[in-house]
Structure 1
């Protein structure tokens, strides 16, 4: 792998404002560049160079090509304005298998930071989201600004990531667009480092600015307005994807539905609410970026006005007339997106509350039905009890008759007539067998029943005593 070489730009040699090695030794930069989590084994980058009125894109540059380009940066001081690269954009995309990992080596990114004197604060964007920032370097003698750099970021999400309404709690598909801009005010050149730029946005930039080099020179914030506008458009498109699911599931309200229907509907709205909450954070990140770009535009305009007053030439500097209201328009659009997100969030919450209310109502209806069924069962039990009582009364009435008929039906008792026709009652001599067998068997049966009951009671008492003596056992 090619080794990075430190190149000192002319504006640093003149003003001696940057301490490159000090920048790379700061804790933030050392931590970011030393973490392999954010880098790949090899580098691939696209470079868009604008010379004069036209721009050319070079695709899929490798490590050696990029290092050679960095060594040549600002080297040709004799180049005519038509041949000089006045605007260069370095695109470093994310790895396909890991959206946080850049298709770039740590050595190459450090070389880019060194060559273009990028502030170490920008390195924090490699690890997590940070607020936008800026650095202005002034000439030590004239105290006039000679180099101006600023950076910002935005969260871009894919609209396809919510079409399936994934009920899991995973984060929606997203990428962090990071943009750094460095302007050499003495040479009139601009360098932009763009990380994780979507392919469609990159293609649109090439198609729209391939022949707009002179316009970009007169309006240095034009490319930043492009990134801001596209971020807003993607956010708007993403927000629109919520409208249809919300309307569709709101129309599915059916008071006669089952509890399962209400539960499924609740899950859908909980998923939508979670997604809306995630994206609402994206708007909170984009808002400061737009305010920051507006501030940078106003600073550039103020510097241009100062130069107009010093030189008296109002034609050879920056033209800011086309950007007086664009940032306010973008901020208004963002506020509208926030209003829509808040509206969708409120509607999903109302739908969730409605689903829970319908579920509770359905549960109450089921409880009422169960209470009615319990009343019917109790009434039937009462009626069965009345029938059993009638049977008991009838049994008590006929039991004595059954007893005597059973006794007299046995062979121990006989009735016959004598020779004179008189009825004679006789008792067998073995009549004692009946009580001799019946009484012991009855006693044995009663003792068995009573013994079984006493045994069960003893076991229950023993178990209760064991729990009282050892309260932790069996808990």
Structure 2
């Protein structure tokens, strides 16, 4: 349990819908990428959309900067940083005819105006086209290359020989972003594997200094640090999905600190709710308003993390399916490495499911705490209303006393005003009273007593009307049943109802 109350995390600014613009599709050019791909799938790939994205020069940098990690046969790895245009173009030419190799091309992206998706990749436009053509990259990856936030399922594409053997496989995905309070650029990974040549190609695009990719690259380079027999592929990356599994795991690890902070925020809020419920804290409405707002923000963050967990689960499950196809058609000598990746993906899938269950549990506890806050506020309002009612009752009693005193003194005042001062004479410095002074007392007493009698009679009439209104529904039902008693003499309830109605009338008449 956290001892310090964390700062309330404010949600990111809402993105205006007016800022979104549809991609204007250009006229399809049949002689240009991606129409020239042999692995094209027209029902899935929007060719005009891809060509429109590639034709926007603002999506691409003026100068190419990328990193290349190349693993040749025998496990010898070479790393080149800050590769520019000519060096990358030369590398693409050298890749033609390569066998038993795994190559990684890491590109970065940054925020930029005038682009299709508010993101610019660190490749020149012409060189990006050459890269896509050289590796026969699926059109599915084109919008991801330039930073489109993709919320759809990952893409898996297979090519088979006439004999039904796997020839080529592609797997494309975008990993979820767990930190919803930071505007992070998408992390997209493309992988293709040619079975005949045993060549695996990775193209990775992420934001500058993306911790997920930086740590994944570090782990990959650490795995390549061992020595292997000459002429054999490095056993640690014999599985084409090896790096995919590393990135998926690092993406998941990013969620730990974020979910931990969310849990501590929830527990702190629950402690405050428990303190209010136990009466340890005064029910301050301003504090309850702040607490309610904090629980609402926690619910929003939990929903966002649940969506990220769903996306991560979908990525892993699709990766497991694609990996299963590849494993079933691979050499038995590579099964050991394939099994390790299988175990890693299975662990990630189960862990993501566990994360989802915990997040659902947090939301449930938040809902219970929110209901308790509402009940506490309702109880406080009820107590306030009872206090107001009691004060009103006391005021009513005081007003009745004042009214009674008014009824006592008002007749005397009226009579004295009527008679004036005719009973008193002041002559010679002496005050004398006439013999008719009793005329003042007689009407005053009679009028006062008469007013009290009228008031008592009026209260009895009001009480009788109130009793009649409460029992009117029962009385009306009895009257209806009484008219049916002739047709059914066994209706004892009718007679009882009639007698009740009769007695009710007698009681009311007595009261009146």
Q: TM-score range by the shorter chain?
A: 0.5 to 0.7
1:181 aligns with 2:191: yes
* 2:349 matched residue in structure 1: 331
1:117 aligns with 2:139: no
CA-to-partner distance for each residue in 1:389-444, whole Å, 9 max, x for gaps? 344234235435644379x78xxxx999xxxxxxxxxxxxxxxxxxxxxxxxxxxx
Q: Match for 1:236 among 234, 256, 268? A: 256
How far apart are residue 220 of structure 1 and its match? 2.4
Q: How does 1:200-219 map to 2 (within 5 A)?
A: 200-210=211-221, 212-213=223-224, 214-219=234-239
Unaligned runs of 5+ in 1: 1-5, 162-171, 309-313, 417-475
Instruction: Report the CA distance shift for 1:187/1:232 in structure 2 as closer, same or farther (over 3 A).
Output: same
**TM-score (normalised: structure 2):** 0.63
* 2:285 matched residue in structure 1: 259
Greater Cα shift, 22-31 or 359-368: 22-31
Q: Residue 272 of structure 2 aligns to a residue in which SS?
A: coil
Q: How does 1:83-98 map to 2 (within 5 A)?
A: 86-95=101-110
Q: Residue 371 of structure 1 aligns to a residue in which SS?
A: helix
1:342 aligns with 2:360: yes
Instruction: Report the CA distance shift for 1:146/1:400 in structure 2 as closer, same or farther (over 3 A).
Output: closer
Distance 1:117 1:355 in 2: 59
How far apart are residue 202 of structure 1 and its match? 3.0
RCO comparison, higher one (Cα < 8 Å, 6+): 1
Aligned length: 373
- Contact kept in structure 2, 1:242 and 1:272, CA below 8 Å: yes
Distance 2:44 2:174 in 1: 21
CA-to-partner distance for each residue in 1:105-134, whole Å, 9 max, x for gaps? 554433322221111122354353221122
* 1:193 matched residue in structure 2: 203
Q: Match for 1:268 among 281, 294, 319? A: 294
Distance 1:384 1:44 in 2: 93
Unaligned runs of 5+ in 2: 1-30, 225-233, 430-512
Distance 2:242 2:125 in 1: 30
Instruction: Report the CA distance shift for 1:20/1:302 in structure 2 as closer, same or farther (over 3 A).
Output: closer
**TM-score (normalised: structure 1):** 0.68
* 1:148 matched residue in structure 2: 169
CA-to-partner distance for each residue in 1:49-95, whole Å, 9 max, x for gaps? 2334344443344445444433x2424x5x8x7xx8x2222222331
Distance 1:324 1:21 in 2: 32
Distance 1:26 1:37 in 2: 20
Q: Match for 1:69 among 84, 87, 91? A: 91
- Contact kept in structure 2, 1:157 and 1:173, CA below 8 Å: no
How far apart are residue 246 of structure 1 and its match? 0.8
Distance 1:37 1:342 in 2: 42
Distance 1:134 1:379 in 2: 83
Distance 1:43 1:20 in 2: 30
How far apart are residue 25 of structure 1 and its match? 7.6
Q: Residue 257 of structure 1 aligns to a residue in which SS?
A: coil
* 2:443 matched residue in structure 1: none
Q: Match for 2:270 among 234, 237, 250? A: 250
Q: How does 1:355-434 map to 2 (within 5 A)?
A: 355-399=373-417, 402-404=420-422
- Contact kept in structure 2, 1:7 and 1:114, CA below 8 Å: no
Distance 1:263 1:36 in 2: 50
How far apart are residue 137 of structure 1 and its match? 2.4
CA-to-partner distance for each residue in 1:184-231, whole Å, 9 max, x for gaps? 222222111112266333332333222544134423222111012112
- Contact kept in structure 2, 1:150 and 1:182, CA below 8 Å: yes
Distance 1:260 1:372 in 2: 26
Instruction: Report the CA distance shift for 1:194/1:402 in structure 2 as closer, same or farther (over 3 A).
Output: same
- Contact kept in structure 2, 1:218 and 1:318, CA below 8 Å: no
Distance 1:97 1:19 in 2: 31
CA-to-partner distance for each residue in 1:445-464, whole Å, 9 max, x for gaps? xxxxxxxxxxxxxxxxxxxx
* 1:292 matched residue in structure 2: 318
How far apart are residue 35 of structure 1 and its match? 5.5
CA-to-partner distance for each residue in 1:302-338, whole Å, 9 max, x for gaps? 1114xx5xxxxx47x8842423432221111111011
Instruction: Report the CA distance shift for 1:268/1:217 in structure 2 as closer, same or farther (over 3 A).
Output: closer
* 2:119 matched residue in structure 1: 101
Q: Residue 287 of structure 1 aligns to a residue in which SS?
A: helix
1:26 aligns with 2:44: no
Instruction: Report the CA distance shift for 1:346/1:110 in structure 2 as closer, same or farther (over 3 A).
Output: farther
Distance 2:312 2:263 in 1: 22
Q: Residue 196 of structure 1 aligns to a residue in which SS?
A: strand
Distance 1:131 1:33 in 2: 22
Instruction: Report the CA distance shift for 1:398/1:231 in structure 2 as closer, same or farther (over 3 A).
Output: same
Instruction: Report the CA distance shift for 1:298/1:380 in structure 2 as closer, same or farther (over 3 A).
Output: same
Instruction: Report the CA distance shift for 1:271/1:23 in structure 2 as closer, same or farther (over 3 A).
Output: closer
- Contact kept in structure 2, 1:217 and 1:318, CA below 8 Å: no
Distance 1:393 1:22 in 2: 100
